[in-house]
Structure 1
Amino acid sequence: MLDDTLLDDPAALQRADRDRALLALAGAGARVRTALREAEAAGIERLNPDGRPRAVLVAGHGSALTAGEVLAVLAGSAGLVVPLPPAEATAPRGDRDRSGAPPAFTAGLGWQLPGWTGPLDLLVISSADGGEQGLIRLAEQAYARGCALVVTAPAGSPLAEAALQVRALPLPYVVGAQPEEAPPAAAEPDLPAEDPAALWSHLTPLLALAQKIGLTQLPYDALPAVADLLDATAVRCRPDAAAYTNPAKGLAARLAGTVPLLWAEGPIAGAAAARFAAQLADRAGRPALAGPLPQVLTAHRGMFTGQLGAGADPDDFFRDRVEEPDPLHLQVLLLRHVPGAADQEQDGPAEVPEDDDRPRSFGAGRAHRLAAAHDVRLTEYASTRPEQLHALADLVALTDFAAVYLGLAAAQS
């Protein structure tokens, strides 16, 4: 079990945070501002598109792919957005470097354009590394088909160089502030943990581009406001804030020793729940199941009566449990976007008390009743921001910090 006193020890958290994940999250707002400035300097404000593309395809992996999924949610029915995940995972022969070491896992990733892709479509390629040969080949394939191309990659990387060869609009990938001391080498160099704030370096230029081509209806100041929201969350969730005032530490403590079921009401909350599941796996090494209401009520109902339910093993009351670890139990985390539900805008996603008497939607009401009927703890967080992007920033920022805190505290317990 997690010793939650570790969450109130900033020095212990700093020692455990070897790859400076908390520092990366604290700088997420600055990365959004820098990405906006650099996208403007790269020429995105000078674009004069002749109509909207038939489809926007977003290729990448990890947070780059998540950025494409978020764009699809924000675009809604205004345009076709197609995230392109890797289509293969077999490294080609001869991909070992001169030292004889095996290639990084990205060496075996490949991407394939749908057969219908052509000159009416826009392909956006985004990479935090810029060395994926599969993405370079994808850019060449798209150029041959006459697609418009945008590439976000670190300056000077092979992918950024390839973007110039295929006449793509190159946008810089913004890295976070580097710590004074280099982090130690990863124990698994072929499976490195992703920068937890990388999502914003992928998403910011993508949304700036989407605004320019009319794919989203975001206000002109929507992205600068996201940077302010991320800064505010970083202050509330800072390491030296006590657990009882730090919502991310409180959420991490609730999830310790549980199997989380991440339920979401609405597409924005669904994107945040999927992101949280990925972060729990990557940063905390914890499995979680995510899905939208009301489908999850059917898909996850067997969990409530199985071994993880609160009432499991009722007939074995007299078994000696002194030497046994505490059993895992379910924890439902319900994420919601309810614009205009509060009289005034909140500072961040608020935990909704169990005795809240405001009317709930059909799906949320059923979720509460199911959890109560089986003595399973349900924690609900809701964002009341009117803008979808701002609600997403609220929910993602909170859950990103929670995943990192859970991983750091569990590693030290």
Structure 2
Amino acid sequence: MLDDTLLDDPAALRRADHDRALLALAGAGARVRTALRLADAAGVDRLRPDGRPRSVLVAGHGSALTAGEMLAALAGTSTLVTPLSPADVAAVPRTDRSVAPPVFTDGLGWQLPGWAGPLDLLVISSANGGEQGLIALAEQAYARGCAIVVTAPAGSPLAGAALQVRALPLPYVPPNLPDDGTPPAGPATEPDLPAEDPAALWAHLAPLLALCQKLGVTQLPYDAPAATADLLDATAVRCRPDAAAYTNPAKSLAARLAGTVPLLWAEGPVAGAAATRFAAQLADRAGRPALAGLLPQVLTAHRGMFTGQLGAGADPDDFFRDRVDEPDPLHLQVLLLRHAPAAPGAGRPGERPAGPEAEEEGPAEVPADDESPRGFGVSRAHRLATGHDVRLTEYASARPDPLHALADLVALTDFAAVYLGLAAAQS
């Protein structure tokens, strides 16, 4: 079990943070600003053809693919946004591992849909820039007549291939971590599958947003991407390691999830993208399983969990069981994420009306006894959890802009996943 006192020990957290994940998350806002500036300098407004494409295809893996899924949530029904997942399509030749260790992306390939053509835009994004499958995809798109944009590190093979296929090259912004003389040492992982930079998502998403805003794919306000950087900075201040757990929402959420199997429920596509991201981060950063889904259909999908072995009332003889030499049992914990824009003068969800300073806060934890209006799915979720004695914690972002609500929810849960992983490693 987690010793939550470790969350209030900044020195212990720094010692456990071998790959500087907290520093990387703290620098997410700066990476967004840099990515937007470099995308503007690269000429995103000069992409041809002009106007909104028929569809936007986003190819990559890891956070790059997550960025495509978030763009789809933000675009809604205005434009078809299709993330392209990789497939295992080729055998990797045997090599001398002492000279060239295996790489996870070797042998992965991407395939354009059969309908993709000159009316469509392909965006390829990579933090490494060495994936041969993505290079082959760029060549395939060039042969089909697609417009192509490539985000990759400068000087990488993928960046070079972008010039060959007349793609618009956008630079990938790496983390800018302080140099203290010792290289960051990542946690023990498979040699060909290193842990991903937790803030890489924003380095992929920022140029994608700048591009799609120019083309009219998203209906975001003009200054929405730039303002997102300020929101990420504000979250980094609230969730900093030296902030006590009772004032740090990410530490509080991490402590609440310890010793549980989280069910991450979401209302709407924006919160759904944040829940999917949180499940991936809990697995990657904390080694914890979590199930994510959208209301109301997730109630049917997860219904059996409430009456199974993890439910609060699953064992009627639990009172007579000898617990002296047994670990504490795992129980379900429902985390409900929502984008709930507040009406003018209505205040934040679960709170009384507040002044303008409320806009500087992140997503609010909604009290269990909150009586504000709820949708059908949210009301059913509360009734199901209450009826089975399962704790439900609700976080809602009241920001009217969907991108800012997404940044609120993702930034908080990213920090929570890292804190949970660091504290569990030290307990």
Could you state the TM-score of these two structures normalised by the residue count of structure 2? 0.94
Any idea what the Cα deviations from partners look like across 1:186-215, whole Å, max 9, x if unmatched? 522212111110010000000100011111
Alignment match, 2:102 = 103
Counting only pairs closer than 5 Å after superposition, residues 232-243 of structure 1 correspond to structure 2 as 232-243=234-245
**Alignment pair present for 1:53 and 2:53:** yes
Give, in angstroms, the shift of residue 50 of structure 1: 2.6
Write the distance in 2 (CA, Å) between the matches of 1:171 and 1:97. Answer: 34
Give, in angstroms, the shift of residue 171 of structure 1: 0.1
Write the distance in 1 (CA, Å) between the matches of 2:318 and 2:6. Answer: 34
CA change 1:317–1:186 in 2 (3 A) is closer
Alignment match, 1:291 = 293
Give, in angstroms, the shift of residue 102 of structure 1: 4.0
Any idea what the Cα deviations from partners look like across 1:114-163, whole Å, max 9, x if unmatched? 11111111100000111111101111111111111100000111111111
Alignment match, 2:350 = none
Alignment match, 1:72 = 72
Alignment match, 1:38 = 38
Write the distance in 1 (CA, Å) between the matches of 2:176 and 2:397. Answer: 29
For structure 1, the 5+ residue unaligned runs are none
CA change 1:133–1:214 in 2 (3 A) is same
Give, in angstroms, the shift of residue 319 of structure 1: 2.4
CA change 1:249–1:131 in 2 (3 A) is same
Quick check: 1:107–1:132 contact (8 Å CA) kept in 2?
yes
CA change 1:179–1:57 in 2 (3 A) is same
Any idea what the Cα deviations from partners look like across 1:214-254, whole Å, max 9, x if unmatched? 11111111011100000000000000000000000000000
Alignment match, 2:188 = 187
Alignment match, 1:163 = 162
Write the distance in 1 (CA, Å) between the matches of 2:323 and 2:128. Answer: 49
Alignment match, 2:420 = 406
Give, in angstroms, the shift of residue 75 of structure 1: 1.1
**Alignment pair present for 1:212 and 2:211:** no
Alignment match of 2:382 (pick from 347, 353, 368) = 368
Write the distance in 2 (CA, Å) between the matches of 1:67 and 1:89. Answer: 23
Counterpart of 2:57 in 1: which secondary structure? strand
Write the distance in 1 (CA, Å) between the matches of 2:296 and 2:97. Answer: 53
Quick check: 2:339–2:398 contact (8 Å CA) kept in 1?
yes
Q: Which amino acid letter does the alignment assign opposite residue 250 of structure 1?
A: S
CA change 1:43–1:316 in 2 (3 A) is closer
Quick check: 2:49–2:147 contact (8 Å CA) kept in 1?
no
Any idea what the Cα deviations from partners look like across 1:11-69, whole Å, max 9, x if unmatched? 00000000000000000000000001111111114446433211110000011001111
Write the distance in 2 (CA, Å) between the matches of 1:87 and 1:63. Answer: 16
Write the distance in 2 (CA, Å) between the matches of 1:178 and 1:227. Answer: 17
Counterpart of 2:266 in 1: which secondary structure? strand
Could you state the TM-score of these two structures normalised by the residue count of structure 1? 0.97
Alignment match, 1:355 = 369
Write the distance in 2 (CA, Å) between the matches of 1:48 and 1:127. Answer: 22
Quick check: 2:48–2:147 contact (8 Å CA) kept in 1?
no
Write the distance in 1 (CA, Å) between the matches of 2:26 and 2:287. Answer: 21
Quick check: 2:274–2:406 contact (8 Å CA) kept in 1?
yes
Alignment match of 1:378 (pick from 392, 402, 407) = 392
CA change 1:300–1:98 in 2 (3 A) is closer
Q: Which amino acid letter does the alignment assign opposite residue 182 of structure 1?
A: P
Write the distance in 1 (CA, Å) between the matches of 2:178 and 2:96. Answer: 28
Any idea what the Cα deviations from partners look like across 1:70-92, whole Å, max 9, x if unmatched? 11111111111110000226443
Alignment match of 2:309 (pick from 307, 310, 316) = 307
Counterpart of 1:160 in 2: which secondary structure? helix
For structure 2, the 5+ residue unaligned runs are 348-352
Alignment match, 1:318 = 320
Percent identity for Structure 1 against Structure 2: 82
Quick check: 1:47–1:212 contact (8 Å CA) kept in 2?
no
Give, in angstroms, the shift of residue 109 of structure 1: 1.3
Quick check: 2:18–2:187 contact (8 Å CA) kept in 1?
no
Counterpart of 1:106 in 2: which secondary structure? coil
Q: Which amino acid letter does the alignment assign opposite residue 201 of structure 1?
A: A
More displaced, 391-400 or 80-89? 80-89
Write the distance in 1 (CA, Å) between the matches of 2:48 and 2:108. Answer: 34
Q: Which amino acid letter does the alignment assign opposite residue 314 of structure 1?
A: P
Alignment match of 2:248 (pick from 246, 252, 256) = 246
Write the distance in 1 (CA, Å) between the matches of 2:35 and 2:332. Answer: 39
Counterpart of 2:289 in 1: which secondary structure? coil
Quick check: 1:97–1:103 contact (8 Å CA) kept in 2?
no
Alignment match, 1:132 = 131
Quick check: 2:124–2:134 contact (8 Å CA) kept in 1?
yes
Write the distance in 2 (CA, Å) between the matches of 1:214 and 1:227. Answer: 21
Write the distance in 1 (CA, Å) between the matches of 2:185 and 2:156. Answer: 23
CA change 1:298–1:384 in 2 (3 A) is same
Quick check: 2:6–2:423 contact (8 Å CA) kept in 1?
yes
Give, in angstroms, the shift of residue 340 of structure 1: 1.5
Alignment match of 1:260 (pick from 253, 259, 262) = 262
Any idea what the Cα deviations from partners look like across 1:175-196, whole Å, max 9, x if unmatched? 1112422112552221211111
Q: Which amino acid letter does the alignment assign opposite residue 387 of structure 2?
A: A
Give, in angstroms, the shift of residue 325 of structure 1: 0.4
Counting only pairs closer than 5 Å after superposition, residues 386-405 of structure 1 correspond to structure 2 as 386-405=400-419
Quick check: 1:237–1:401 contact (8 Å CA) kept in 2?
yes
More displaced, 41-50 or 55-64? 41-50
Q: Which amino acid letter does the alignment assign opposite residue 378 of structure 2?
A: A
Write the distance in 2 (CA, Å) between the matches of 1:44 and 1:51. Answer: 12
Write the distance in 1 (CA, Å) between the matches of 2:262 and 2:42. Answer: 42
Write the distance in 1 (CA, Å) between the matches of 2:133 and 2:54. Answer: 24
